[in-house]
Amino acid sequence: MSIIVDDLSAQIARRVSAERERRGWSLGDLAEKCGVSKAMLSKIEREEASPTATILARVATAFGQTLAGLLESPDGEPPKLLRGRDQPRWQDPASGYVRKQVFQSPRNPLELVEVHLPPGARVSFPASSYTLIRQVVWLLSGRLEIREGTRMSALDAGDRLEFGPPADSEFHNPGQKSARYLVALMRQ
């Protein structure tokens, strides 16, 4: 299956810079709040580095947003109908995972995200990225291992996992094929 990934680098750079400036924060302030180096944040804002999912989650949480909130276009209300081909896709440069934002609206606390995690790939998220949300993962195809704090869950196609209180988490595809899963989350 071929997945076309949108180049969101410029949008991410503009969004991080605008959110930081809106709050009157220096790069140092943001670095302190999210635990990402000032040098890396500067490279992201100048489009010289492509941030990983872990870094974006840390930055989004510092701004009091979800990862999707940071990736969304601030150009107003989303359309009621959004064709599959128009749903934004982003690829994590470290793990190769592809994230497709299926649904997000400022009028609704529900977000839906489809993820393709390549064979053998791992992606980690800090506990802080779960403080603003509650989420459920539904594995559509492939295999997936999710470590949530000290709890490890192995999922097969059709299985779902509800996340508990915020904990450092890791998603791992131990299979030979891409794992495809849906993340349903509610902003709190």
Sheet bearing 179-187, strands edge to edge: 89-91, 98-105, 108-117, 179-187, 133-141, 160-162
Q: Are residues 62 and 97 in the same domain?
A: no
Range of the domain at 163: 84-187
Q: Enumerate residues 6+ apart whose C-beta is below 8 A from 121.
A: 95, 96, 97, 172, 173
What CATH number is given to the structural domain containing 57? 1.10.260.40
Per-chain mean pLDDT for the chain:
87
Summarize pLDDT for 113-140 with one digit per residue, the tens. 999 999 999 999 988 888 888 999 999 9
| pLDDT range class, residue 2, cuts 50, 70, 90 | very low
Summarize pLDDT for 135-188 with one digit per residue, the tens. 999 999 999 999 999 999 999 999 999 999 999 999 999 999 999 999 999 987
Q: How confident is the model at residue 7, as a pLDDT?
A: 60
3-state DSSP assignment of residue 59: helix
Q: What is the pTM of this model?
A: 0.74
Q: Are residues 128 and 156 in the same domain?
A: yes
